[in-house]
């Protein structure tokens, strides 16, 4: 993955020359046109197990030059909503700048201030790297972040460490907490579609779940997110989102009407 870090959000055109899947027909992110989404009553509530981690479980938080990544133990598992079991790999965020929002997915053309992705791999494969090249290999849970009134205590567990990893490659340790608190309380309402990693190598191996309920952060927390991290040319790491990709006939399912 080290070799994948020389791309940037500025030269998107070259992604598909260096990584052929980036030019594929099942790419992410997408715009969700809610009027075109198909209600699918057999979409079950997403169920998380093992997401509540004790404080003595230290998690690595890293600035990898493209986002902030929190590495997750495989003890976190997706046990509902997907036909097979998936285990957590990492979570990371996408955000904008003081000039504009930075979610990756959009809803009816609306871009949200930020978006969290919790990445999992299908346990029928021996490892994440093995899973990530199979169409049913990965499951990513996505939720939008908006500015509300109060501080979000769960996001604070990550945001309060950002100053320690301002430079690319820096990492720090975060005490365990209830990772489920980073996702909506209502895991029944979501959109579902087959897509890809939104970064090179853009493998088309992700079953995406985008929750309908958004997460609320304070204004201060959102500004910490958009103005703490730097990239490898010492500029602020901002607007780390890929433009929405064509559906090419794919259907988006909705677990609700």
- Measured CA to CA, the distance from residue 125 to residue 139 in angstroms comes to 13
**Active-site option among 66, 105, 117, 120:** 66
Residue 117: active-site member? no
With CB atoms as reference, the residue minimizing the distance to Zn ion is: 117
| Minimum distance of ligand ETK from residue 229's CB (angstroms) | 12
Of 5 and 85, nearer to ligand ETK (C-beta) is 5
| Minimum distance of Zn ion from residue 94's CB (angstroms) | 5
Number of residues that bind Zn ion (CB under 5 A): 1
Residues 6 or more apart from 117 whose CB is under 8 A from it?
Answer: 91, 92, 93, 94, 104, 140, 141, 142
Per CB under 6 A, residues contacting ligand ETK are 1-2, 4-5, 64, 66-67, 69, 89-90, 92, 117, 119, 140, 197-199
Of 62 and 117, nearer to Zn ion (C-beta) is 117
CB 148 within 8 A of CB 177: no
Residue 230 binding partner per list ligand ETK, Zn ion, none, with a CB distance cut-off of 5 to 8 Å that depends on partner kind: none
Of 2 and 13, nearer to ligand ETK (C-beta) is 2
| Minimum distance of ligand ETK from residue 7's CB (angstroms) | 8
Stretch 111-130 residues interacting with Zn ion (CB under 5 A)? 117
| Minimum distance of Zn ion from residue 39's CB (angstroms) | 26
For the annotated catalytic residues, the residue numbers are 66
């Amino acid at each position: 993955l080290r070799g994948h870090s020389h791309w940037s959000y500025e030269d998107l055109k070259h992604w598909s020359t260096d990584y052929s899947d980036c030019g594929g027909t099942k790419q992410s992110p997408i715009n969700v046109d809610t009027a075109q989404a198909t209600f699918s009553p057999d979409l079950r509530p997403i169920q998380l197990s093992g997401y509540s981690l004790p404080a003595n479980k230290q998690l690595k938080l890293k600035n990898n030059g493209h986002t902030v990544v929190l590495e997750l133990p495989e003890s976190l598992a997706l046990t509902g909503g997907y036909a097979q079991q998936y285990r957590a790999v990492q979570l990371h965020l996408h955000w904008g700048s003081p000039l504009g929002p930075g979610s990756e997915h959009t809803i009816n053309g609306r871009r949200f201030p930020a978006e969290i992705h919790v990445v999992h791999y299908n346990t029928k494969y021996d490892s994440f790297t093995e899973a990530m090249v199979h169409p049913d290999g990965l499951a990513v849970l996505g939720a939008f972040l908006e500015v509300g009134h109060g501080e979000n205590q769960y996001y604070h567990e990550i945001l309060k460490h950002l100053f320690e990893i301002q430079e690319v490659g820096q990492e720090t340790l975060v005490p365990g907490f209830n990772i489920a608190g980073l996702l909506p309380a209502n895991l029944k309402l979501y959109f579902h579609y087959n897509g890809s990693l939104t970064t090179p190598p853009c493998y088309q191996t992700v079953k995406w779940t985008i929750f309908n309920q958004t997460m609320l952060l304070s204004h201060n927390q959102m500004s910490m997110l958009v103005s703490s991290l730097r990239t490898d040319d010492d500029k602020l790491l901002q607007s780390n989102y890929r433009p929405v990709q064509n559906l090419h006939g794919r259907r988006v399912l909705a677990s609700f009407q």
